[in-house]
């Protein structure tokens, strides 16, 4: 249901509704969505507003228009861009591994004391941890820092089990335009080792990930701790991928 009193534009609200119906399978891949005339009548809005919503989803690749036929749910993308915010989790999923992702604590607005390379040093940002387990074993720990300018109110959302890339794109209309990932091998701090269920002397792959958005370099930064005793991580088009 559209909320005319919401500060979120009506077309964006409708785009969110359609995106959710695609996500849950109400509009399966390859199916034709209702026409602009039908959606306008159902929602009590003008066809130009409906067109704005579908244009947005066409640009995002969720929908595709077929001349003289209608608008259809696009085929799911098989590749994950190297700058994808969900590239690592997607890689596990593609390999058919049973994995789970959880956030052990709330998203918090914190003052960053960490020295460089963290680009948010000395500023206040949103922060949370995410743990990924494969077949019941923790293999990846992420410390994620988000610009409050780009992600206002993200501390009010339930992120547990959610794709950060989908939230960034659907909620904030954000897509990466560039970035950098630095790699090294090191030993995690005691508390990180405990979460990963390794000894403090066990080397892990450490990754510093910088994500840039339009007019906002380093809008997202994360430290990744990857267990390599059972998995080999290699950078490909999809970010990190378990082989």
Domains in the chain: how many in total? 2
- Boundary-marking domain end, from 44, 73, 102: 73
52 Rama sector, left if φ>0, alpha if ψ -120 to 50, beta otherwise: alpha
**91 and 199, same domain (yes or no):** yes
- Boundary-marking domain end, from 51, 73, 95: 73
- The CATH number for 38's domain is 1.10.10.10
In a domain, 108, yes or no: yes
Render each residue's pLDDT in the chain as its tens digit; 243 residues: 798 888 889 999 999 999 999 988 999 999 999 999 999 999 999 999 999 999 999 988 889 999 889 999 987 653 333 334 445 555 555 555 567 888 999 999 999 998 889 999 999 999 999 998 877 888 889 999 999 999 999 999 988 877 788 888 888 989 888 888 898 999 999 999 999 999 888 888 898 999 999 899 999 999 999 887 665 555 543 443 333
**16 and 64, same domain (yes or no):** yes
**134 and 161, same domain (yes or no):** yes
**125 and 156, same domain (yes or no):** yes
Cα(243)–Cα(241) distance, integer angstroms: 6
- Distances in Å between the alpha carbon of 5 and those of 2, 13, 202, 237? 9, 12, 54, 42
- Boundary-marking domain end, from 73, 100, 125: 73
Residue 53 is part of which domain span?
A: 10-73
């Amino acid at each position: 249901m559209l909320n005319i009193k919401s500060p979120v534009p009506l077309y964006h609200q409708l785009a969110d509704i359609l995106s959710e119906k695609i996500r849950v399978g109400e509009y399966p891949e390859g199916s034709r969505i209702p026409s602009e005339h039908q959606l306008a009548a159902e929602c009590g809005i003008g066809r130009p507003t409906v067109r704005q919503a579908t244009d947005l989803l066409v640009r995002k690749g969720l929908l595709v228009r077929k001349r003289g036929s209608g608008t259809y749910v696009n085929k799911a993308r098989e590749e994950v861009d190297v700058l994808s915010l969900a590239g690592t989790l997607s890689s596990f999923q593609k390999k058919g591994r049973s994995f789970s992702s959880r956030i052990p604590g709330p998203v918090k607005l914190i003052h960053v004391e960490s020295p460089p390379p963290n680009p948010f040093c000395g500023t206040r940002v949103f922060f949370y941890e995410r743990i990924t387990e494969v077949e019941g074993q923790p293999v990846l720990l992420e410390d994620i820092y988000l610009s409050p300018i780009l992600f206002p109110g993200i501390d009010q959302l339930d992120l547990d089990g959610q794709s950060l890339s989908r939230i960034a794109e659907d909620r904030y209309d954000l897509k990466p335009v560039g970035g950098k990932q630095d790699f090294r091998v090191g030993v995690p701090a005691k508390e990180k080792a405990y979460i990963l269920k390794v000894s403090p002397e066990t080397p892990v792959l450490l990754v510093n990930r910088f994500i840039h958005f339009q007019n906002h370099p380093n809008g997202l930064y994360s430290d990744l701790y990857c267990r390599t005793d059972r998995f080999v991580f290699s950078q490909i088009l999809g970010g990190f991928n378990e082989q």
